[in-house]
Amino acid sequence: MLSQNELGADVGALRAYAQAVEGLGYDFIVTADHVVGSDAAAYPELERVYPISNVLHEPLALFCFLSAAAPKLGMLTSVIILPQRQATLVAKQAASLDLMTGGRFRLGVGIGWNVVEFEALGMNFKDRARRFEEQIEVIHRLTRDELVSFEGRYHTLKGSGINPLPRTRPIPIWIGAQAEAPARRAARIGDGYLPLRPLVEAATPEAAWEQTIEMVRGWVREAGRDPSAFGIEGRLDASRGTPDDWRRAIALWRRLGASHLSIGTGGLGGADAQIARLRDVKALLT
């Protein structure tokens, strides 16, 4: 998980970080999405805004750069705030990134929380959940079919398509969720689930995750889908704890059948400290 705030606008550091991650044998790199930051004083009515002091590159543009710097790495957005973007353009960008990464791009998406960004981008915040589901259908169809005709509430396509199409058809769309409604949506229409926190409280964090994953797989089955074909990405925060803590987290996600595991190292400092920690964790994964 790329901690951009610590690498800042140093393009050389971003390149070196991605190449070091690739050299350690990791499979993919993850980054988040916020288009604008804000001054909280300008929005006293809001509980929080994304602070202007945080550094965050536009993820799809960043991945174009990183795919050239570290061509063996896959890429995951976790997550693109899809309803503040135009779905057809995102489909085109995702298809291009899939080709640039040799079919190793996953489009992680979420509905977003920051009304300031929707306002800045000229998009409606209130109908974002309804648009989100239609956007996913549009992106799936545009990245699968040569020509698409679609008449929805928010999108109209008449015999239109993108060229070139991606290697992976359709582009895999993973849905980030920290509450039940988006987790159910992921189970129903997503290709994978990016759990941000457990959906239940339990005696231990491990028990909470076990119950959460059991619930999600149940919703996948209710939707008439195959749980074995549905992706789940575990998370390990390696910026804290001990190697024994990391081993337990790795064992938990393996036991739960996660298809992917992302490793966070944010807060440790610059690229050298983060790469050193990633090296320590990689030793436990082999």
User: How confident is the prediction for the chain on average, in pLDDT?
Assistant: 96
Q: Given this model, what pLDDT does residue 255 score? A: 97
- Percent of the chain at pLDDT > 70 equals 100
Residues 6+ apart with CB under 8 A from 224: none
Q: Are 107 and 139 in contact (CB under 8 A)?
A: yes
pLDDT digits (tens, 9 = 90+) for 66-100: 999 999 999 999 999 999 999 999 999 999 999 99
Span 144-155, average pLDDT:
98
pLDDT at residue 156 greater than cutoff 90: yes
Q: Given this model, what pLDDT does residue 202 score? A: 96
Distance CA 107, CA 112 (A): 15
Provide the residue count of the chain: 286
pLDDT at residue 270 greater than cutoff 90: no
Q: Given this model, what pLDDT does residue 58 score? A: 97
Task: Give CA separation, 204 vs 26, 200, 208, 210, in Å.
Answer: 29, 11, 6, 10
Distance CA 30, CA 248 (A): 22
pLDDT at residue 286 greater than cutoff 80: no
What is the pairing mode between strands 148-151 and 28-31?
unpaired
pLDDT at residue 120 greater than cutoff 90: yes
Residue 52: closest CA among 110, 120, 108, 107: 120
DSSP per residue, 84-133: GS-HHHHHHHHHHHHHHTTS-EEEEEE----HHHHHHHT--STTHHHHHH
pLDDT digits (tens, 9 = 90+) for 3-36: 998 888 999 999 999 999 999 999 999 999 999 9
Q: Given this model, what pLDDT does residue 217 score? A: 97
3-class secondary-structure state, position 55: coil
Q: Diameter of the chain by CA atoms?
A: 56
3-class secondary-structure state, position 203: coil
Q: Please name the CATH architecture into which domain 4-171 falls.
A: Alpha-Beta Barrel (3.20)
For residue 106, what are the β-bridge partners? 76
Span 208-219, average pLDDT:
97
